[in-house]
Amino acid sequence: MMPRRASALLGVPAVAGAGPLAVATRIARVAARGLVDLLLPSACAVCRSLHRADADGIVCQACLARVVPLGWPQCTRCGQPRLSPSIPLPIEATPSGVIPPCRWCLRLLPTIRAVRSVCRIDEGTGAALVHALKYDGWHAVARPMARRMARLEWPVDVMRERSALVPVPLSSTRRRERGYNQAEQLATALSAEWRIPVWTDILERNRDTRSQVRLTPSERASNVSGAFVAAGFARARLRGAHIVLVDDVITTAATINACAHALADGGARIISCVTFGRAPEPGDRAVSDYDLLRN
C-alpha cells in the first residue's frame, strides 16, 4: 500500500492492475524529474530567464507571445501582407472578391505554388528564436517554431497534395562548422505535426556560397544561381510530387527559387515553401485591420 499512497501524494496517476514495482518505478521517475527541476531549473533559450518547463519548455511563454505574426490580409499565393481591407481593392480584383496576386509574387518561379511564413523577423522575438536555433545550438527551439508553422493556413490543393518536406540544404563547409542544418531541424519537427515524410537526401548544394545577409537582391540571386541540384537517384521519387521546401527565413526568395528550379528539373510537379520568419518589405503593415477580429 505504501507505493500507492506515495503515488497519490506525488500526483502520479494510478493505473489499474499496476503492481508495486511499476508504481514504485513511476514514483522514482517523478521524484527524479522534480530533483532535476530543483537543481537545474529550466531557462529560456531566448531571454535566459528561469521558467516552468512545459511542452515548449526550451522557450518561455512570454517570448513565444512576443512573436509578431505577419499582417492580414495576405496574398493567397505568396503570403505577403496586403493593403488594409478598408482600402478599395485594385481595379483588377476578381468578382468573387479574391485579392489578385501581388508584386511580391512576380519574383517567384511559376513552379512555386504557395509560400507561407509565421512572423516578421524585424519585430518581436522572431529573430531571437531563429538565432537561438541557427547559431546558438538550441536544437529544441525548432519544436515550438514548427508548431506555429504547422498552424499556417494554406490553399486546399496544397494541403491535399503535399508529398514531402525538403529542407534547404547547407553547404558541406557550413554544415561542418555548425554541426547541423537548422532547416532540417525545422522540417523534422514539422513532419511530426503534418504527418508527412522529410526527404533530406533529395536536394543537394553543389557548391559553397557567400552569406546572403549583406547582399542586394540581385547579388543574392547570382550567389545561389545553380547552387542546388536534385540528387541523381531522386527523379523517380520526385516525379509528379508536390514538394514543400522548409527554411528558417525568407528574404528575397532567391534561395527558394534556386531550390525550386533544381527540384523541378529533378521531376517535381510543383513546389511550395514554408518558413518561420520573413524579412520585411517596404510598406509592409505590422498590424492589420483583421487582427483584433482574428485574435
Q: Report the alpha-carbon distance of residue 196 to residue 188 in Å, rounded.
A: 10
Q: Which residue has the cell 526527404?
A: 199
Residue 217 lies in a domain: yes
Q: Are 32 and 154 members of one domain? A: no
Q: Are 34 and 67 members of one domain? A: no
Residue 50 lies in a domain: no
Q: Are 173 and 275 members of one domain? A: yes
Of 219, 217, 232, the C-alpha closest to 262 is 232
Residue 286 lies in a domain: yes
Q: Are 221 and 112 members of one domain? A: yes
Residues facing residue 275 across a β-bridge: 117, 247
Q: Are 223 and 86 members of one domain? A: yes
Q: Are 86 and 7 members of one domain? A: no
CA 294, distance to chain mean position in Å, is 21
Q: Are 29 and 94 members of one domain? A: no
Q: Compute the residue count for the chain.
A: 295
**Which CATH number belongs to the domain containing residue 181 in this structure?**
3.40.50
Q: Are 16 and 145 members of one domain? A: no
Q: Which structural domain range is residue 283 located in? A: 61-294
pLDDT of the residue at 218: 74
Q: Are 24 and 165 members of one domain? A: no
Q: What would the DSSP string read from start to end of 179-221?
A: SS-HHHHHHHHHHHHHT--B-SSSEEE-S----STT--HHHHH
Of 229, 259, 221, the C-alpha closest to 111 is 259
- Residue numbers of the chain with a pLDDT score lower than 50: 1-10, 12, 36, 39, 55, 87-91, 287-295
Q: Report the alpha-carbon distance of residue 115 to residue 42 in Å, rounded.
A: 35
Tally of structural domains, the chain: 2
pLDDT of the residue at 63: 93
Residue 53 lies in a domain: no
Q: Report the alpha-carbon distance of residue 245 to residue 274 in Å, rounded.
A: 6
Q: pTM of this prediction? A: 0.78
Of 135, 83, 86, 134, the C-alpha closest to 281 is 83
Q: Which residue has the cell 512570454?
A: 62
Residue 55 lies in a domain: no
Q: Are 21 and 160 members of one domain? A: no
Instruction: Name every residue whose Cβ is closer than 8 Å to that of residue 61 and which is 6 or more positions away in sequence.
Output: 51, 54
The cell for 6 is 506515495
The cell for 183 is 532547416
Q: Are 35 and 135 members of one domain? A: no
Of 232, 234, 231, 244, the C-alpha closest to 164 is 244
Of 148, 253, 265, the C-alpha closest to 203 is 265
Residues facing residue 229 across a β-bridge: 204
Q: Report the alpha-carbon distance of residue 254 to residue 224 in Å, rounded.
A: 7
Q: Are 215 and 124 members of one domain? A: yes
pLDDT of the residue at 91: 45
Residue 52 lies in a domain: no
Residue 51 lies in a domain: no
Residue 46 lies in a domain: no
CA dihedral 41, 131, 288, 72 (to 10 degrees): -110
